[in-house]
Structure 1
Amino acid sequence: MASSQMISLPVLLATEKLQVSKANFPTFQILIEQHAASKGLKGYLEGTTTLPALTTVPTGTPAPDSTPVFSTAPSREEFLYRDGVMKSMIVTNVVDPIGLGLKLDGTAKECWDSLVAACAKRTDAGLSLAESELQTIRFTGTSRDDLDNLLSNIRNKGNNVRMMGGKADDKDLKNVLIRSLPAEPRWLGLQGALFSAADLNDAFALIKALAINTGMPEHSIAATTPTALNTSIPKRKCTNPGCKAVNKSSHTAENCYWPGGGKEGQFPPNFGRNRPQARQAGTAEDLSVHRVLMATTELVRCVVNNSDAPKAFVSRTFESVESATTVTLLDSGSSDYFFRNRSDFHDYEAIAVRTGEVCAGKRG
């Protein structure tokens, strides 16, 4: 076989190769068929050129002349080479030949048939979906930018239909554009001119001109969401000077239970459960009475002043108080403090117990 019979292998662009989704199979099919025809290999793709039978050639028989690539009667060696080139053209332009289930151990025809079988059903469903998406396009925008996006969307959807093997020519896309406009007086009066337009671009130019004349803004205006006024409401706070509440913002002076408040002494039953000083006045709750007794110097001077002996006078009236009353004799209070300097305090001295009555003076 002469070197002139060598065939270069065409390689498609990355976007033209058959993708894993198989969505572009109709376009891929057209490209492969066209490349096969341009290389003279379409007979190998379609199976019209077959492998010659193996024959025994007598010794001394001269080799037959090579046939052209497009020959339908190649030699056995020529068929194997050309069929291999055709199969390589298919396999190298498929992104995932193994995943798609291509038959790689047969002829180019068998490989091609396995690819068509794997993509045909998916293509039918995809074409139906692509056509539905194209026909249901509707314009809902409010600006001239939205009109540009509408035209771009129609063209993209139309290209998807063509890639899936469907029909979506310029006239079809023009009709989709006209049907996408809402039933408003602005657009209804333009229907006749749009149907009379030569192509999609002329129809779109009429739409843009009308949009400008009717004052449609070039860009969309962002919608403002109404928000409630942020009125500043001062927080309530108790202004009662006698309030001992930790959280003074929980009430006002009019509702304060502490001395000086509007509800002074009217503590609720559960108020201050762990604070004894916050008990409700006038309730029947049992209270322990604690009394402190002391002798005043003025009283002592009135009773006895004729002796310098140490004395301490204590009232005996506490003996008749109820049992629930706690009585404490008032002392110097030294037990409530830390002894820093012992010399600052005096020792208690024992005093003999004496009893008597306080004399009652009478006049006259």
Structure 2
Amino acid sequence: MSSGNLILNVPTFPEASQLSGQDTWRAFKDRVDLQVQVRGLKGYLDGSIPKPTSATYVYPAQTPSSVDSHFPSPGEWIQRERMVALIIYLNCTDPVGIGIEKDDSAHKTWQYLVKKYEARDEQWIHLADTALRAQKYNPKTTTMEEHEKKMKNLLKTLHNLGGLCNDYQFRLIVIASMPESWKDYILNVPGIFSTDVFTYLHHLYLDKVGRHAESTDDYIKDKVAALVAQHLASLGTGTTAASVKRECPICINPVCPTKVRHTIDRCWAKGGGAEGKAPKSWRDKHGTKAAASSTSPIDVYVGSSYSPKGSESEMMPF
């Protein structure tokens, strides 16, 4: 591998492995270590290959030195050292905010980052450990998949801060995070790894919460269907009543005291088709009034023209 090709091949880390703070330091550090090792540039990161000076460097009459040579020329050293510095600088989401100077050597920058992110802070470790152990699962608001992701992120945060929690301890913490109502189901969880616990809990979640959700959905669907049917029935009744109201017959007999709910053919008043056939209660209430009603010649003419009992002799001439 030539040094000329190295300068054109600066790797870009995945977003989750780029340095943005304490949470991504561990992933970032591992990737930087691997990238410089595979290129033979580890000495520029840890400072074991010092920068040669023009005054002390002896230029041999030979081809350029190998990439992992501990005796590069001043030009080769600058090129290779800048390559390592680029790997660090370009894979930080906010180099200035983190405190990195682009002109600093790769070794100086690396020492700064190690000191900043690997200094054990007991208070932060305690808070992260407490947050992990205090996390509880609520099947009413959270799926098991979301709970697993949350627990693993809390564990990752603890590890990034320098805290210790092995897989066996994490397994017990996950079991303890289950709700009290699941106590009888987690007394004997199979397996010895945290992955075994999550596999068992996923099955338990589908068995308990999944069935309950299905029955709840069926109940809600039935309830909604009943309400919709009731609403449609009320709409149907209202429509029928409105139609009947709109189609209510009106009497055109001028002397009829009621006018509605019948036609002139069935009108009991004078001049109507059912004149004289009114029941006693109607005659007591309207008979005298209907008989005494004054009519104009036009009213009599119009009424008689629609009355089957009217005769031509009753029509008044104009």
TM-score by length of 2: 0.55
Distance (Å, rounded) in 2 between the aligned partners of 1:124 and 1:81: 40
User: In 1, are the aligned partners of 2:144 and 2:205 still within 8 Å (CA)?
Assistant: no
One-letter code of the match for 1:47? G
CA shift at 1:179, angstroms? 1.2
Distance (Å, rounded) in 2 between the aligned partners of 1:171 and 1:122: 23
Task: Please name the residue that 2:263 is paired with.
Answer: none
One-letter code of the match for 2:72? P
CA shift at 1:121, angstroms? 5.1
Distance (Å, rounded) in 1 between the aligned partners of 2:66 and 2:173: 49
Task: Please name the residue that 1:81 is paired with.
Answer: 79
Distance 1:122 1:167, change over 3 A: closer
* Structure with more of its chain in helix, by fraction: 2
Task: Please name the residue that 2:150 is paired with.
Answer: 153
Task: Please name the residue that 1:175 is paired with.
Answer: 172
One-letter code of the match for 1:77? G
* Structure 1, unaligned runs of 5 or more: 223-364
Distance (Å, rounded) in 1 between the aligned partners of 2:192 and 2:41: 40
Q: How many residues align?
A: 215
Task: Please name the residue that 2:29 is paired with.
Answer: 29
1:140 aligns with 2:138: yes
Distance 1:126 1:41, change over 3 A: farther
Distance (Å, rounded) in 2 between the aligned partners of 1:133 and 1:90: 31
Distance (Å, rounded) in 1 between the aligned partners of 2:175 and 2:213: 20
Distance 1:151 1:100, change over 3 A: closer
Distance (Å, rounded) in 1 between the aligned partners of 2:17 and 2:208: 43
Task: Please name the residue that 2:285 is paired with.
Answer: none
CA shift at 1:132, angstroms? 2.5
Task: Please name the residue that 2:16 is paired with.
Answer: 15
Task: Please name the residue that 2:194 is paired with.
Answer: 200
Give the alignment's Cα RMSD to 1 decimal: 3.6
One-letter code of the match for 1:204? F
- The superposition leaves residues 201-222 of structure 1 with CA deviations (integer Å, 9 ceiling, x where unpaired) of 4323434555666686247969
Distance (Å, rounded) in 1 between the aligned partners of 2:102 and 2:206: 59
* Structure 2, unaligned runs of 5 or more: 218-318
- The superposition leaves residues 203-255 of structure 1 with CA deviations (integer Å, 9 ceiling, x where unpaired) of 23434555666686247969xxxxxxxxxxxxxxxxxxxxxxxxxxxxxxxxx
1:130 aligns with 2:128: yes
One-letter code of the match for 2:43? G
User: In 2, are the aligned partners of 1:51 and 1:79 still within 8 Å (CA)?
Assistant: yes
Task: Please name the residue that 1:217 is paired with.
Answer: 212
User: In 2, are the aligned partners of 1:5 and 1:68 still within 8 Å (CA)?
Assistant: no
CA shift at 1:90, angstroms? 0.9
Distance (Å, rounded) in 1 between the aligned partners of 2:5 and 2:92: 26
CA shift at 1:86, angstroms? 0.7
Distance 1:65 1:124, change over 3 A: farther
Task: Please name the residue that 2:51 is paired with.
Answer: 51
- The superposition leaves residues 274-315 of structure 1 with CA deviations (integer Å, 9 ceiling, x where unpaired) of xxxxxxxxxxxxxxxxxxxxxxxxxxxxxxxxxxxxxxxxxx
Task: Please name the residue that 1:293 is paired with.
Answer: none
Task: Please name the residue that 2:304 is paired with.
Answer: none
One-letter code of the match for 2:136? R
Distance (Å, rounded) in 2 between the aligned partners of 1:49 and 1:57: 14
1:187 aligns with 2:183: yes
One-letter code of the match for 2:172? N
User: Which entry has the higher C-alpha Rg, 1 or 2?
Assistant: 1
Within-5 A mapping of 1:248-327:
none
CA shift at 1:49, angstroms? 0.9
Identity %: 23
Distance (Å, rounded) in 1 between the aligned partners of 2:104 and 2:201: 56
Distance (Å, rounded) in 2 between the aligned partners of 1:82 and 1:162: 32
User: In 1, are the aligned partners of 2:3 and 2:80 still within 8 Å (CA)?
Assistant: no
User: In 2, are the aligned partners of 1:127 and 1:161 still within 8 Å (CA)?
Assistant: yes
User: In 2, are the aligned partners of 1:101 and 1:118 still within 8 Å (CA)?
Assistant: no
CA shift at 1:3, angstroms? 6.1
User: In 1, are the aligned partners of 2:120 and 2:161 still within 8 Å (CA)?
Assistant: no
One-letter code of the match for 1:90? I
User: In 2, are the aligned partners of 1:9 and 1:85 still within 8 Å (CA)?
Assistant: yes
Distance (Å, rounded) in 1 between the aligned partners of 2:151 and 2:97: 32
- The superposition leaves residues 170-207 of structure 1 with CA deviations (integer Å, 9 ceiling, x where unpaired) of 434322221112445x524642x31x414334323434
Task: Please name the residue that 1:111 is paired with.
Answer: 109
User: In 2, are the aligned partners of 1:18 and 1:94 still within 8 Å (CA)?
Assistant: yes
